[in-house]
Structure 1
Amino acid sequence: MTEMMTGGCQCGRVRYRVAIDDDEAYLCHCRMCQRATGGVSIAFKSVARAAVTWTGREPDRYRSSPIAHRGFCRECGTPLTFEFSDGESAFMDLTVGSFDEPGRFRPTSHFAIESRHPAWLDTRALPGKRSEDNPSTRDRWMKACGKLPD
């Protein structure tokens, strides 16, 4: 069943609406994605280009390699898209974290496994702490905004 979902950047300048047919997403571990995000991988949802409507401003784009462009917000830096530059693909990738409800998706595959860092794949056994349990973070948010972030 097709569902309309929304998303955008952290500051709200770039917003989108997209028709989603399933909950499948993937993790990309390529070095380009690692460098573009500063992370060990990035979660993407592949979507039909024609299914995406930019409801705020369109993302700014930069040529991240000889074969691809990446969409981002120039104001807040949020990574938003991965798109092949040749214009031949009917699909593009949206970053899962940019969706308003990223929990809707589940990872179903890994891409570019030659660059993945196995120690970061399963971290369930590591101790965890909630944001509100860290006084230095909690107190700064409360002083600045009167509440914790969503």
Structure 2
Amino acid sequence: MGELATGGCQCGRVRYAVALDNDDAYLCHCRMCQRATGGVSIAFTNVSRSAVTWTTREPDRFHSSAIAERGYCRDCGTPLTFEYLKASEKLDLTVGSFDEPGRFRPTAHFGTESLHEAWLDTRSLPRQRSDEYAPLLERWKAADAKPG
């Protein structure tokens, strides 16, 4: 097996470790993924089911269609997996749930019938760092908390 990577949900209730064979990922633009995440697409990496170990507990699952279910944390709502209902040797893990998502590189688009072209190349848009945005920093300070 490959290099070990870890990840989990925002609140930490669901954690996993996975042996990765590569850093390939893809963007899914299908309407079901758009609705499941509230976004215009979602980034997944496809892995062997046997390479995944749920280190705290398994995710809760929602049967999102007649053929698939999605793993998520019931406490914080983080999307974690896409899995076919009929036995499959593979499953998809959400790239954003990895502790180090920057390691992945997009290699393909899927569900392109629902792709929103305007969201693909946003390099020319203005950029704002969250750690330099005064209104947000003031909210963290007022909550006597650190940005997380």
TM range (shorter): over 0.9
Please name the residue that 2:95 is paired with: 96
Write the mapping of 1:1-150 to structure 2, written as runs, cut at 5 A.
2-87=2-87, 89-149=88-148
Partner-residue secondary structure (3-state), 2:96 = helix
Contact kept? 1:25, 1:46, Cα under 8 Å: yes
Runs of 4+ in 1 over 6 A off after TM superposition: none
Per-residue CA deviation, residues 22-74 of structure 1 (Å, 9 max, x unaligned), is 11000000000000000000000100000000001110001001110000000
2 CA distance for matches of 1:145 and 1:109?
Answer: 42
TM-score, normalised with respect to structure 2: 0.96
Q: Please report the RMSD computed on the Cα atoms of aligned residues, expressed in angstroms.
A: 1.1
Q: What letter is aligned with 2:55?
A: T
Aligned residue-pair number: 148
TM-score, normalised with respect to structure 1: 0.95
More displaced 10-residue stretch of structure 1: 29-38 or 128-137: 128-137
Q: Percent identity?
A: 68
Unaligned runs of 5+ in 2: none
2 CA distance for matches of 1:76 and 1:43?
Answer: 19
2 CA distance for matches of 1:3 and 1:146?
Answer: 34
Q: What letter is aligned with 1:53?
A: T
